């Protein structure tokens, strides 16, 4: 979260402890809900609510050369 919080394009982040972010989505009703390219809009938790409130769901294509796991491994290597 600290790294994401440093991005100028990120206005706000909220951690959650539930299995899905549905309760959070219901509370904040975001204008945009973003998921990775391994999802389809119909399988995104909360997509129907966001769309019904006038928002949109964006599916961002995955880039094979960039992954969360790869970034974590690179950081881990730097710390050793």
Could you read off the pLDDT of 42-80 as tens digits, one per residue? Answer: 999 999 999 999 999 999 998 888 887 888 888 878 776
Q: What is the pLDDT of residue 58?
A: 97
Pair 23, 16: CB distance under 8 Å: yes
Token couple for 63: 């880039």
Report domain extents, the chain.
Answer: 18-79
Token couple for 76: 């881990």
Residue 33: strand pairing partners: 57
Q: What is the pLDDT of residue 72?
A: 80
Q: What value does the mean pLDDT take over residues 20-27? A: 96
Q: What value does the mean pLDDT take over residues 29-34? A: 94
């Amino acid at each position: 979260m600290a790294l994401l919080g440093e991005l100028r394009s990120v206005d706000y982040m909220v951690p959650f402890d539930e299995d899905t972010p549905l309760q959070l989505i219901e509370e904040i009703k975001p204008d945009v809900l973003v998921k990775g390219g391994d999802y389809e809009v119909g399988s995104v938790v909360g997509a129907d609510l966001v769309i019904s409130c006038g928002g949109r769901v964006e599916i961002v294509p995955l880039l094979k050369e960039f992954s969360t796991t790869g970034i974590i491994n690179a950081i881990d290597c730097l710390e050793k």
